[in-house]
Structure 1
Amino acid sequence: MKKVLFATTALVATAGVASAEVAVTGWAEMGLFGGDNAMGMGIETQFFTDIDVLFRMSGETDNGLTFGAGVDLDESTNDNGAGNTGGAFNPADDGGAFVFLSGNFGTVTMGDTDGALDWALQDADYGNAGSIADDETAHAGFLDTYGDGAYDGQILRYDNTFGDFGVALSVEMDDTGMMDTGFALGFRYGMDLGGADVGFGVGYQFIDVSNYLPGNLSSIAIPAQDFDGEYDIFGISASVASNGFSANIEYTDFSSDTAGEEEASHVSLGLGYTTGAITVSANYGIWDYSSDVAAFDGDITGFGLAAAYDLGGGASIHAAYGVSDYSDLSGAPAAFDDLETWSLGVALSF
């Protein structure tokens, strides 16, 4: 997820809808990236380019109901960065598209949006400086999905706020009809303590999927049945920001007893600091896995570092480094050990 602020160009439609508006934003990045892959082989230093365009549409009915939609062209074309593009917009997985309705009753959003648990929790990238290749958030210790997208990625979420308190409920359906509908419930609370912004989040999510791997296990060759069935996910987070400093801590627990007993827990910490045009940030995460189905136990850890210098006018220089460590995880392929990535470049927001 890119952390660059977007400038907005608004196009106002005057025919038929008095308050309709279309906003076009975007960013472009260029630079270098490299590192070492999990097999101990170097990733050749190479060029990195990435471009994204986002459309946001909004309007208002005569009685004050607001509505809108959006689409992310980067996601809708399966652009994975580094010049790797392919595929077409696929409504089946939303491709970065969402639609919402909002009023005194709250907000209803459908499409590529956060589930209630993800909506409630603050990730470890709080105060993140950002990077062109997301190295600081792509490591195995980072968590930001909390079970969202376990089915087809289309989520229906209702959320509402009451002063400093917010609540959300979300549903994700299985298109095949073979698994139970997934749902989530989330709560968050924010307050100002003498100039320090403090936030808390807590939530629960249920999913019922085959071969669901919590965290970054998709690249490890383990039997499909090792992580299978119904999962209960509980998460809680706390964050604070004051005078340029930011900090966040998060805990998430995954549990399943359908195909044996699989357990996973995740803890993360994020720190950031901004002074003038300079922002620096760091985050650390650890996964603790255990499974009765196969000898698959131990920890996966990772950390990320990022720095940015704001040149003004929407341009900034970014550098980042990320490390993933699988060495404590039994049951993983013997060649699997550490993964290191880095990137350096310029981000341009429009």
Structure 2
Amino acid sequence: MKKVLFATTALVMTAGVAAAEVAVSGDGRMGMIYDGNDAQFSSRARVTFTLTGESDAGLSFGGAFRVDQESDYTAGYAGSERSAARGTAGAVWISGTYGKLSMGDVVGAAEAAIGDLPEVGYTDGEFGGDIEEINYLVGDGENEDQGPTILYEYTVNNISFFASATDGSNNSTYGVAGSDEGEDVPSDSVAYSLAVKYEGSNWWAALSYSEADVYDLDPTSTSVTASASELALAGGASFNNFSVMATYLKYDDRFVSGPVLGDDEFIVGGFAVDATLEETIGLGATYQMDAILVEGFYRKDKYDLIGGGSESYDSFGIGADYDLGGGAVLAGGIIDTDYLDDTVADIGVKFKF
């Protein structure tokens, strides 16, 4: 695959000092999205800076961010925009004999070990609300207002260890205390995640545990008295041209609101919630044959309603990519999910520069 790469090299006159490099790459896409009612045009272009270097002692270090991440106001609050300069977008890292340490907008330990379900479509699942992304309790958007996330990774033989945390200062805990996305729920405690993964010749298995604070069930209180927790177990295998994966997540005290409508509401930390997310089951499969890649996933989320009873939300998607060569891929996908109560689709071309 051809790549257009612009690089600058800083040459230091001191003997033994390695060169540093700044590389510029990009991605783009153009096509159409069907939202269940109408078809619309959709396009995007982005530029990414990747910075790498090496110390005298052989430590590798670097950073990466997109141009649009330097001033991202999608959070919706004055003074709370996400940016690489603030450590809430992009990432920096350092690695050596004793593992890799990353900080910024990085995934939590659970997602680093397990990952998400396969992305389908030319928008990589965005047209379906990114439903293929597992709702991990720590990192990767779930705690994006908690400041930078720190992630440590270390591999010995076939076993990899992961640990991550957010510092918990001046943060909100969307998805933990039951607030709607964007609501500011203050907390000063750390959210953390631990994971371990074993990789065999053509299979892998992973286990993770995550925890983040929730609030006193007294409607007049905002003190932290309990924690939401997440236990995840996953595995996958590859044979011939097929790859499959399965994941199971069990939650405790994870209050939610929004798409789930119960018979009654409950107050947690001053916010109305209507359910607790109890478990998530995910299945994914891919098939690669020459230039054709077929991907699919199934997901089920189970909720216990505050007013009594339970509900399950099902989602599935399937898509195909055809590699045109030179960094261009023709792709399309279909997603049906109870969260949207509709079937959506997309088709278009995506590029890598």
Q: Which runs of 5+ in 1 are unaligned?
A: 37-41, 81-86, 212-224, 327-336
Match of 1:110 in 2: 103
Q: Do the aligned partners of 1:139 and 1:302 also contact (CA within 8 Å) in 2?
A: no
Alignment of 1:187 with 2:196, yes or no, is: yes
Residues 89/325 of structure 1: CA separation in 2 closer, same or farther (3 Å cut) = closer
1:215-258 deviation digits (Å, cap 9, x = unpaired): xxxxxxxxxx9xx9621011111011222211010001111189
Q: 2:206 aligns with which of 201, 205, 227?
A: 201
Alignment TM-score, normalising by the size of structure 1 = 0.77
Q: 2:313 aligns with which of 297, 300, 309?
A: 300
Bigger relative contact order (CA 8 A; separation at least 6) = 1
Alignment of 1:339 with 2:342, yes or no, is: yes
Residues 141/169 of structure 1: CA separation in 2 closer, same or farther (3 Å cut) = closer
Query: Take 2:73 and 2:136, find their aligned partners in 1: how far apart are those partners?
Result: 19
How do residues 24-35 of structure 1 correspond to structure 2 at under 5 angstroms? 24-35=24-35
Match of 1:23 in 2: 23
Amino acid at match of 1:198: W
- Count residues with an aligned counterpart: 302
More displaced 10-residue stretch of structure 1: 59-68 or 90-99: 90-99
Match of 1:147 in 2: 138
How far did 1:142 drift? 4.6
Q: 1:178 aligns with which of 176, 179, 187?
A: 187
Q: Do the aligned partners of 2:247 and 2:283 also contact (CA within 8 Å) in 1?
A: yes
Q: Among the aligned pairs, what percent are the same residue?
A: 24
Q: Which runs of 5+ in 2 are unaligned?
A: 75-79, 171-185, 217-221, 256-267
Match of 2:189, SS?
coil
Query: Take 1:156 and 1:142, find their aligned partners in 2: how far apart are those partners?
Result: 20
Residues 57/265 of structure 1: CA separation in 2 closer, same or farther (3 Å cut) = same
More displaced 10-residue stretch of structure 1: 233-242 or 16-25: 16-25
How do residues 1-350 of structure 1 correspond to structure 2 at under 5 angstroms? 7=3, 9=5, 11-16=7-12, 18-36=18-36, 42=37, 44-78=38-72, 90=83, 94-125=87-118, 128=119, 130-132=121-123, 134-135=125-126, 138=129, 140=131, 142-143=133-134, 145-148=136-139, 149-150=142-143, 151-176=145-170, 178-192=187-201, 197-209=202-214, 230-256=227-253, 262-291=276-305, 293-295=306-308, 297-326=310-339, 338-350=341-353
Match of 1:13, SS?
strand
Match of 2:295, SS?
strand
Amino acid at match of 2:345: W
Q: Do the aligned partners of 2:82 and 2:89 also contact (CA within 8 Å) in 1?
A: no
Residues 92/75 of structure 1: CA separation in 2 closer, same or farther (3 Å cut) = closer
How far did 1:144 drift? 5.3
1:149-171 deviation digits (Å, cap 9, x = unpaired): 42425211111100111001111
Q: Do the aligned partners of 2:52 and 2:61 also contact (CA within 8 Å) in 1?
A: yes
Residues 249/93 of structure 1: CA separation in 2 closer, same or farther (3 Å cut) = farther
Query: Take 1:175 and 1:92, find their aligned partners in 2: how far apart are those partners?
Result: 17
1:297-330 deviation digits (Å, cap 9, x = unpaired): 311111111111111111111111111115xxxx
More displaced 10-residue stretch of structure 1: 296-305 or 57-66: 296-305
